[in-house]
Structure 1
Amino acid sequence: MSTTTTVTVQQKQPLALSLEPRIGQLDKHGFLFGKKLTASMSPLLHDVVYKGLGLNWEQIRLDSTDMNLFLGLIQHPKFYGASVTMPHKVAILPYLDELTEECRDVGACNTLFLRHLPDGRRLFCGANTDVIGIRESFVQNVSDPSIYENRPAMVIGGGGAARSAIYALHKWLKATCVYVVNRDKSEVDAVVAECIERAYGVRLVHVETVEQAEALEAPGAIVACIPDFPPTTKEEKLVRRIIEVMLEKEHKGALLEMCYNPSPFTALGALSESKGWQVILGTEALIWQGIEQDKYWTGRDASELPVARIKETIANKLAEISKN
Structure 2
Amino acid sequence: MAPEVSHVERHGYLFGHPIAHSMSPLLHQTVYDNLGLNWSQVPLDSTDMSLFLNLIKHPQFYGASVTMPHKVAILKHLDGLTPEGRDVGAVNTLFIREDPETGKRLFMGTNTDVIGIRESFFRNATPESFENRPALVIGGGGAARSAVYALRTWMKAGTIYLVNRDASEVQAVLDECTARGYGSGLVHVATEAQAQQLEGVGAIVACVPNFTPKTAEEQEARKVLEVFLDKSHKGAILEMCYHPSPYTEIAELGQKAGWQVILGTEAMIYQGLEQDRYWTGKETAELPVAQVQSVIASKLDEAKL
- The TM tier, using the shorter chain, reads over 0.9
Gaps of 5+ in 1: 1-15
User: Counterpart in 2 of 1:94?
Assistant: 76
Encode CA deviations 1:92-130: one digit per residue, 9 max, x unaligned. Answer: 000100100000000000000000234431100000000
Matched, 1:120 2:118: no
Please, what is the CA RMSD of the aligned residues? Answer: 0.8
Residue 152 of structure 1 is matched in structure 2 by 134
2:5 aligns to what SS in structure 1? helix
- State yes or no: 1:140 paired with 2:123: yes
- Look up the match of 1:31: 13
User: For the residues of structure 2 that align with 1:320 and 1:200, how far apart are their CA atoms?
Assistant: 40
Stretches of structure 2 that go unaligned for 5 or more consecutive residues are none
1:70 corresponds, among 47, 52, 60, to 52
**Is 1:199 the counterpart of 2:181 in the alignment?**
yes
Moved more, 22-31 or 164-173: 22-31
Q: What's 1:311 paired with?
A: 293
Shift of 1:185: 0.5
Residue in 2 aligned with 1:213?
195
Separation in 1, partners of 2:284, 2:129: 26
* Superposed counterparts of 1:182-261, under 5 Å: 182-261=164-243
For residues 23 and 254 of structure 1, what CA distance do their matches in structure 2 show? 42
Q: In structure 2, what residue type is equivalent to 1:73?
A: L
Identity %: 62
Instruction: For 1:189 and 1:102, locate their aligned partners in 2 and report how far apart those are by CA, in whole Å.
Output: 21
Pair 1:170 & 2:163 matched: no
Deviating runs (4+, > 2 A) in structure 1? 117-120
Aligned counterparts of 1:270 and 1:23: Cα–Cα separation in 2: 42
Does residue 300 in structure 1 map to residue 270 in structure 2? no
Deviations 1:129-165 (A, max 9, x none): 00000000000001x2111000000000000100000
Corresponding position of 2:254: 272
Count of aligned positions? 304
Rounded Cα–Cα distance in structure 1 between residues aligned with 2:200 and 2:134: 7
CA deviations on 1:32-87 (whole Å, 9 max, x unpaired) are 00101100000000000000001110000101111111100000000000000000
